[in-house]
Structure 1
Amino acid sequence: TIPVYTVEMVEKKSTAVRLGELGTKVGRTVRIEGEIAQIKQTSGPTIFTIVDESGTENAAAFVEAGVRAYPEAELEDIVRIVGEVMMRNNQLQIEVDSLVLLAGEEAERVRDRIESALDRRAEPEDIPFLVESDVLERLKPEMRKVAKIIRKAVFSAQPIILRHHADADGICSAVAIEQAVTSLIRESGGDYDADYFLFKRAPSKAPFYEIEDITRDLDYALKDHARFGQKMPLIVLTDNGSTEEDLPSLKMAEIYELPVVVVDHHHPDEIVDQYLGGHVNPYHVGGDFGITAGMLGTEVARMINPSIEDVIRHFPAIAAVGDRSDAPERGRYLQVASDRFTEDDCKDIALALDYEQFWLRFNDGRELVKDILDIKGNNDRHRKLITLLVEGANMAIEDQMSASMPHVRQQTLTNGAELFLLDVEIHAHKFTFPPPGKTSGEVHDRLCRQHPDSPVVTIGFGPDFAVLRSRGVMMNIPRMVRELREEIPGGGISGGGHLVVGSIKFVEGMRQEVLKGLIEKISIVGAGM
């Protein structure tokens, strides 16, 4: 008789090693258990990014150059991998000998273990704020909630897209969170350049999350998901995200099951909260827009990663002067920054950010913005850059003011407010700095200095938009916009912003009716210094 043999794959019984321990196991064969966070096919091996309760590392599986190894393994599967721990380009990597998909109770046991450990690991430290603030203290639970969501995304190798308003306040808020997240990504293991493909910061021209923004973000996310096997991202919105204008984009994010969190100080509309996983806004706890997005973003960033505090502690002061905050926290944050920057220094940095972002358009200018904010350690370059940018910005502003100020029209409203009107379409330079919003703000500042004892409203308008700035007038611009939308059919009215600073859009043929209705509403609200 001829003996019959069968071959069976057997696996050596051994204790699974945590990914955080691989640094001590180089050259040894180990067994790990974790979740697949990314599958990237290279021209050589297939790279599986694995997450467990302790960190993130890559596992390389090779069958043939450019051919997908273990095609049965998919994103978010729980797997057991056996392989040798190696160093590739000064980076830890497991050379896969075997990869087995876990199922049933075994998979659930591993998933539950990872989930509970990540939940504990993602809990932010309970640290005091940089300044004393009753509003911030009342906001602390929601700030910790948002920080935890962001930390958990980092630890589970979920990409993060950070959207922010393209002004000094929005930039300060976003860059603070950027510094916290990217440093945390680097500390968590994985690819050496993971902070570039797992995190993206992008400015938004409007102070809300536009359809154009979500379309771009979805396009990138879906391509990265299809091409590189990445998870779909967490969306973080700062200095926008709180109003009805954000709804179309938030609804689109919901269709693709993208989680969204918001750190904002615009007057919120309750309807957006159903689409958000977390919403930090001072209005929710009795505060107002004086607590700027830069203040909020910096404090959330410190919760995400306390180690970056020294890098970003001056950001709230820059945001406060850039967004013209009158809150008591402004002075306190200026005091925090005073060991490095005076109030005038902060104003110069804020102006430099606005000026440079205008030329950056939709680009984030990651490294350039770091130099402007002086977080790269090259103080000499920072000073030279600020001097140059402020000089250019001030020259452009003075040129714009010399062209625009002679064309300002004045009228006194029935409530005693002084109203000033400027057609920025025909009496201001176009397609250059300062843009219409900044131009209207600079005109308003000059008019306030000329009328120190009077409430002042300035409207800079174009063919289909108007920008509002005010002092001493109790307006509610979002409510005015809603009322005008109902009262002027065919006006195509939209817009919003802060209560006393904002903008409104309309169809060109209805400009006269909309401006008339807007002025009537301003004239009946309370005014006084």
Structure 2
Amino acid sequence: MTTDDAGDSAGTTVYDLAPGCTIADVEEGNRYLATVNGVVDYGVFVDLSDHVSGLVHESNLSGTFAVGDELVVELEQVRENGDVAFDAVTLDEYEVESVDHEYDVADAGSLEERVGETVTLEGEVVQVKQTGGPTIFHVRDETGTVPCAAFEEAGVRAHPEIDVDDLVRVGGDVERREDAIQVEVDELDELDGDAAADVRDRLDAAMAERAEPHDVDPLVDWPAFEKLHPNLREVAQLLRETVLESRPIRVRHHADGDGMCASVPVQYALEQFIAETHEDPEAPRHLLKRLPSKAPFYEMEDATRDLNFALEDRARHGQKLPLLLMLDNGSTAEDVPAYENLAHYDIPIAVVDHHHPDPDAVEDLLDAHVNPYLHDEDYRITTGMMCVELARMIYPDIEDELNHVPAVAGLSDRSKADAMDDYLELAAEEGYDEDTLRDISEALDYEAHWLRYDDGRHLINDVLNVDCDDEDRHRELVDFLADRAREDVADQLDAAMSHVKHEELDNGAHLYRVDVENHAHRFTYPAPGKTTGEIHDRKVEETGDPVITIGYGPDFAVLRSDGVRLDIPTMVSELDEGIVGGGVSGGGHLVVGSIKFVQGRREEVLDSLVEKMAAADIDEELSSTLQRD
């Protein structure tokens, strides 16, 4: 029969359940607002919330009802099988009191221990990926990021109202799918108001704490290097923040020994941090890519390719646009057009480089910039040296695998830094003598040549012995590659040395020129830059005097100098201004670099270049060192 309390309804409380309320939020004997969701011969089914439903038997009803009608019910009984029975209640007056569900919010980082349980998560959607089956929402909270699978029907976008950057509450069962933790979504709601503000505050506070770089002492005591540590910490924090917000990272690096000594440790550190903070075991592969660059600057071709892939990944996989990390590259005016292209999409850019910078040109386009020249130091601090420290700030547990890398970087770039002896000693403590380190450097250079635009991830790691699981293979591989490199260099010099032309400049320096296009093997190792460097080293050793070497082709020249105070970036600017129609561009370090020009003006460019070299000052201190050596 119908319960009629019209006579004593004053002061009666009727509870209005929030959509997330469950059976735990109701009590027998209490009265609730309900909505009819079904009509049958024996009564009506009603909903109190998304999770509390039951039957009002026809014997307890008066009148007729349709789907969507509202009524007041009293909870009569929750049966042992979970069924819920209600009585209809007629009240003239009552007070409505809202009831919110008290959520026991779980931590995304602790779900490994809660497989098989039903949990509630609160966090930010950082990726939405549509598969052939469910829609995968990657949700980040203060402790990690977890994939949450919601199913509408095969290949159909579930919860289309939810997008990247939304703050949400997720309820569902924790399951293991192919060794990965995943939440099977029962409910997914966007948060707003105070609930959203509370979650945002928690996420921001956790981000600030978790993104803080590790405090690590430098591997060697080097006052010149200490100036760079605040900037490196800034980059480390930016990269850790990027990982925590599940933004992809694209690492672009110069495809030479120092570039790989810079990029491989950073890649390794970031992959470990991604794996630590993301439940998806594929996250390191999806969120990080290392891409070598042949040119000593960020070419528009590379930038366009990177941007196209990023936009496709956003469209196909719901990823955020990436952060670009430039290593051993990226500090010069030649990088500006590519950076400006990325700026249309607000892609953040960080640079760690030791080439002579043009801060006025690039600074406004960068989110972080580390370069020794910005602190009155120079290229002797190699990018590999800096990036080993950067990797340790990101993930210090890999330190023991990196102690030899700064020495390899220094030898690769012929660094004459005061700290080279300390780095060599540190490597020796790990079992690497100087000859072995030089072999590793040579092997890296050799493999980079043949890999061209491929990162050669596993091969390069084995050569450098970082994240390598076979020490014997590392040694055998290095021996083989270094021997092959030396043989190919010898063959190249046999062909080229007889064509090297010599003259003595007005300042007393020896100038050696060679046409590497016509008097050296093409499309093989070593390339023109390496060939020029090998000829240069041989002439420095032969003479013991200041030496400049130019290896040139139809529209390019590679420059090397020892004992002469050149400023190649300035010389390039002056040549571009002084030779109308020459199309001169390029740069690099002060005494090591390359230039390009219009083929028809080659002789004029080279002649003007030699005039400037002849007017350069001799570095007396370095000249004395060369003679002693």
> TM-score of the superposition, structure 1-length normalised?
0.98
- Who is 2:311 aligned against? 222
CA displacement at 1:50 relative to structure 2: 0.7
Distance 1:10 1:101 in 2: 19
Is 1:348 the equivalent of 2:439?
A: yes
Is 1:508 the equivalent of 2:599?
A: yes
Is 1:318 the equivalent of 2:380?
A: no
- Who is 2:92 aligned against? none
Deviation by residue 1:424-450 (Cα, 9 ceiling, x = unmatched) = 011000011000000000000111111
Distance 1:521 1:426 in 2: 25
1:31-430 to 2 correspondences below 5 Å: 31-270=120-359, 271-338=361-428, 339-375=430-466, 376-430=468-522
Distance 2:461 2:99 in 1: 54
- Who is 2:64 aligned against? 2
CA displacement at 1:18 relative to structure 2: 2.1
- Who is 1:476 aligned against? 567
Deviation by residue 1:142-184 (Cα, 9 ceiling, x = unmatched) = 1000000001111111100000000000001000100100111
2:424–2:434 Cα contact (<8 Å) kept: yes
SS across alignment from 2:423 = helix
Equivalent residue in structure 1 for 2:540, among 425, 436, 448: 448
**Structure 2, gaps ≥5 residues long:** 1-62, 71-97, 624-629
> TM-score of the superposition, structure 2-length normalised?
0.82
CA displacement at 1:13 relative to structure 2: 2.4
CA displacement at 1:5 relative to structure 2: 5.8
**More helix per residue: 1 or 2?**
1
Distance 1:327 1:67 in 2: 60
1:239–1:263 Cα contact (<8 Å) kept: yes
Moved more, 128-137 or 161-170: 128-137
Moved more, 163-172 or 64-73: 64-73
1:425–1:463 Cα contact (<8 Å) kept: yes
1:2-21 to 2 correspondences below 5 Å: 2-4=64-66, 6=68, 12-21=101-110
Deviation by residue 1:57-83 (Cα, 9 ceiling, x = unmatched) = 110001111111101111111111111
CA displacement at 1:11 relative to structure 2: 7.1
CA displacement at 1:2 relative to structure 2: 0.7
Question: Which structure is larger by alpha-carbon Rg, 1 or 2?
Answer: 2
Deviation by residue 1:195-233 (Cα, 9 ceiling, x = unmatched) = 111100000001111111111111111111000000100
Deviation by residue 1:366-419 (Cα, 9 ceiling, x = unmatched) = 011111012313111111111111121111100000000000111111111111
CA displacement at 1:12 relative to structure 2: 3.5
2:214–2:392 Cα contact (<8 Å) kept: no
Deviation by residue 1:474-502 (Cα, 9 ceiling, x = unmatched) = 00000100111111110001000000000
Distance 1:146 1:104 in 2: 34
**Structure 1, gaps ≥5 residues long:** none
CA displacement at 1:350 relative to structure 2: 0.7
- Point out which structure has higher relative CO (alpha carbons under 8 A, 6+ apart): 1
- C-alpha change, 1:456 and 1:61, in structure 2 (3 Å) is same
1:49–1:190 Cα contact (<8 Å) kept: no
Give the letter for the 2:141 counterpart: D
Runs of 4+ in 1 over 6 A off after TM superposition: 7-11
Distance 2:224 2:341 in 1: 32
1:28–1:84 Cα contact (<8 Å) kept: yes
Give the letter for the 1:325 counterpart: S
2:546–2:564 Cα contact (<8 Å) kept: yes
- Percent identity reads 50
Cα RMSD, aligned residues only: 1.4
SS across alignment from 1:328 = coil
